[in-house]
Amino acid sequence: MKKLLGLLAMILVISSLSLAENDQDILKNISLDSKWSQTYYDKDGNDANRLGNEGFKKKNKERFRWTEEVEGTLGLNNEWGLDANFHYREHNDRFYEDGKRTQAKGAEKFSVIEFAKAAQWGSLDTTTKLGWRNWTYRENGGVGSQHTVGQSNEFYFGPTFNLKIFGQNVTTTAEAVYFNQRGTANQDSRYYTVRDKNGEIRKTDGLGANLIFNIGNTIFDNGFGKADYYVNLAHYLRDGKAKDTKDSVGLAYLTGIGYQTPSFAGFYAGLNVENEFKKRTAKSGFTNEFSVWTHLGYKADIDTPVGVITINPRIGYRPVDKNYKKGNAWKYDYYNSDSKRKIEEENELNFGLKVGLAVK
């Protein structure tokens, strides 16, 4: 918390200086988010065919994750009115076995830097982006210090279109991509890894495209709260150059519905029900994950001469997470046979604190 407040104080000073001249580059917004989560292994196999809630036992502890995230936007008024968006997220994991914490450690780091230009084409809102995404994976193999075991890079360029169709909010993104990857990194499952005859993962690079379609809208927003629905259909086309690699399309289809109560003195509660289907066409099998999230939070806005500071502590509880896995579509490619399948169920409890600044 002390670090968050210190960073916000620095942000306020920088922002007040940058506001002195309207034609200078300015900070538009920034947010800092810390989150702690504990995952419990509930059921698998045939037992997971019925909804359970037996995870909250010491022996079922699976993973503790601490996440730090920062993102924001700079207005580059001296550079043709471009926006510079940045996003950094780091997961740090500790693992358990029979209720006891092991020496195994892992980390996932995700970075984005992009330049964006918004334009209006009649009734069509467009934003064209040029950017770079990086995924870096680290682990210690159960002993000692961590080291990098995988890294992916994605350089992309393309437009996003926003419009309304029959009253629904529709967003379409089309990006041309150059990518490379080594080790266990697979661009968050957008591509896949191939091993040589010695079991070593081949490095690869190539061209591709990201085609993403979103649709959603508010179902109701009144004195009883707010509910909305959302559908995200993402397609990641990849053509890798390494030996034995195949052209592939990574599919990630997310559908969900969310509800949030009216705010009472800043306090609110909510519920999200989601289903996510994932598949890579170059490999057999798929995953299908159904989850129910509940959350309780408090949100306060503090108006300052520079902008609005938002403070948002919250807790979340996932009573249902049923993940059906078939074939070798698993994240880490454990299984290589179509006949292998598994159903897993987990529970999760988390706490987070987000602090943000929206500059006036």
Buried b (16+ CB within 10 A) or exposed e, 89-114: bbbbbbbbeeeeeeebbbbbbbebeb
Whether the pLDDT of residue 322 is over 50: the answer is: yes
List 215's β-bridge partners, or say none.
170, 231
Q: How confident is the model at residue 340 (pLDDT cuts 50, 70, 90)?
A: low
**Higher per-residue pLDDT: 252 or 123:** 252
- Beta strands 61-76 and 286-298 are unpaired
Q: Which residue has the tokens 């896995």?
A: 325
Nearest CA to 226 among 217, 238, 213, 236? Answer: 217
In the chain, how many domains are there? 1
Q: How confident is the model at residue 290 (pLDDT cuts 50, 70, 90)?
A: very high
Could you list the residue range(s) of the whole structural domain that residue 67 is in?
2-359
Q: What is the pTM of this model?
A: 0.87
3-state class (DSSP) for residue 299: coil
Whether the pLDDT of residue 251 is over 50: the answer is: yes
Q: How confident is the model at residue 224 (pLDDT cuts 50, 70, 90)?
A: very high
Among 10-14, 69-73, 115-119, where is mean pLDDT lowest? 10-14
Q: Which residue has the tokens 């259909």?
A: 233
Query: Using one digit for the tens of pLDDT, what is the confidence trace for 187-216?
Result: 888 888 888 777 788 889 999 999 999 999
Structural tokens at position 116 = 């964006």
CATH number for position 326: 2.40.160
Query: Using one digit for the tens of pLDDT, what is the confidence trace for 36-67?
Result: 999 988 765 555 444 455 556 777 888 999 99
